Structure 1
Amino acid sequence: MAEQRTLILGGARSGKSIAAERLLAGEPEVLYVATGGDDSGNAEWASRIALHQARRPESWGLAETIDLVPLLDSPGPPLLIDCLTLWLSRTMDSLDVWADLSRAGLVEERIALLAEAWSRTSRLVVAVSNDIGSGVVPADAGTRLFRDLMGRLNTAISLRSDTVLWTVAGRTLPLT
């Protein structure tokens, strides 16, 4: 079983989601929180969703939302939030930040609210997030902003977590 608040970081296709599912495998009931939306019409995205769904026990529930604060603030079964990277992207979409980068402060406010809810939750919660800050500095301002906000989000959640894990090539290591 996981500590109360666990963050699992890693690169794309590193095994983060599988590690999160393993941490909660012994729980009779889990609410899987999918933050990516359905991206209607995208066959690749539909295939990825189908793979995730096939791995999950039938007893697990599903919530497709980026409205994470109410879930963290309410009692209920353990949460598996997959993933914070998509939460950030969709939050930026909802606030129209891509069209007006000066709106980034609104995203930072949402990050702060999420981090506070993460801190106070009484639920067992595991979140998955991509660590994208170790690569090349993006050429365009929007992608640089996303990378910077992703770093701030991961830091805010990490500092409020009981456990932080790093996943690479299917191996998961604790960060201390």
Structure 2
Amino acid sequence: MAEQRTLILGGARSGKSIAAERLLSSEPEVLYVATGGDGSSDPEWAERITKHRARRPASWGLAETIDLVPLLAAPGPPLLIDCLTLWLSRTMDALDIWSDLTRAGLVEQAIETLAEAWSSAARPVVAVSNDVGSGVVPADAGTRLFRDLMGRLNTTISLNSTTVLWTVAGRTLPLT
């Protein structure tokens, strides 16, 4: 799996995380990178995190962060990044985009930096991301910006991946 960069796309609750975990199931060590925070302020989110943790082998490590560039640059066991959608929303939070949408260029810069690190990852990496662009056009500017940036992020990472998979209803298909 050396130099393998796999992106798994799909809708919400489509089976993306399970597909990613299956891809890496034969690896004795994996660093699971959770980008969604710890769930301490949201009981429903905390329950989702508990379910994800219960599925993972005890030998897998955990990093809860959106600082992905150093992890991609460092040698080590394969990375499973779950997920890029939460990375984007938390990056937008950290850069205070929601209060000033004109700052979107900062996020585009972060996407480019992430893509460069992804392209030269020092270890195998699998990332999960939601496809949010197949629905209706959102009514408000902030949600439209998020949708557009999500599309840009997915496209950029996809074009720098060795494998791209689409997951729907628990089935995973290769995109060529």
TM range (shorter): over 0.9
2:82 is the alignment partner of 1:77: no
Aligned residue for 1:51, secondary structure, equals helix
Q: Show the counterpart of 2:127.
A: 127
Aligned residue for 2:75, secondary structure, equals coil
Aligned residue for 1:63, secondary structure, equals strand
Where structure 2 has 5 or more consecutive residues not aligned to the other structure, the ranges are none
Cα distance in structure 2, aligned partners of 1:121 and 1:171? 27
TM-score (norm 2): 0.98
Cα pair distance change 1:37/1:44, threshold 3 Å: same
Cα distance in structure 2, aligned partners of 1:119 and 1:162? 9
Is the 2:32–2:81 contact (alpha carbons within 8 Å) kept by the matching residues of 1?
A: yes
Is the 2:11–2:132 contact (alpha carbons within 8 Å) kept by the matching residues of 1?
A: yes
TM-score (norm 1): 0.98
AA aligned opposite 2:133: G
Cα pair distance change 1:77/1:33, threshold 3 Å: same
Cα distance in structure 1, aligned partners of 2:27 and 2:153? 27
Is the 1:97–1:103 contact (alpha carbons within 8 Å) kept by the matching residues of 2?
A: yes
2:152 is the alignment partner of 1:152: yes
Cα distance in structure 2, aligned partners of 1:170 and 1:66? 26
Q: Show the counterpart of 1:42.
A: 42
2:108 is the alignment partner of 1:113: no
Cα distance in structure 2, aligned partners of 1:61 and 1:14? 24
2:66 is the alignment partner of 1:66: yes
Cα distance in structure 2, aligned partners of 1:142 and 1:39? 23
AA aligned opposite 1:130: N
Aligned residue for 1:165, secondary structure, equals strand
Moved over 4 A (4+): none
Cα pair distance change 1:52/1:2, threshold 3 Å: farther
Q: Show the counterpart of 2:174.
A: 174
Is the 2:79–2:124 contact (alpha carbons within 8 Å) kept by the matching residues of 1?
A: yes
Q: How far 1:148 sits from its partner (Å)?
A: 0.1
Q: How far 1:2 sits from its partner (Å)?
A: 8.7
Cα distance in structure 2, aligned partners of 1:164 and 1:146? 22
Cα distance in structure 2, aligned partners of 1:127 and 1:54? 19
Q: What are the superposed Cα offsets for residues 57-83 of structure 1, whole Å, 9 maximum, x if unpaired?
A: 000000000000000001010000000
Q: How far 1:90 sits from its partner (Å)?
A: 0.1
Is the 2:6–2:127 contact (alpha carbons within 8 Å) kept by the matching residues of 1?
A: yes
Q: Pairwise CA RMSD of aligned residues?
A: 1.0
Cα distance in structure 2, aligned partners of 1:160 and 1:124? 13
Q: How far 1:3 sits from its partner (Å)?
A: 6.9
Q: Show the counterpart of 1:24.
A: 24
Between Structure 1 and Structure 2, how many residues are aligned? Answer: 176
AA aligned opposite 2:123: R
AA aligned opposite 1:54: A
Cα distance in structure 2, aligned partners of 1:145 and 1:84? 16
AA aligned opposite 1:171: R
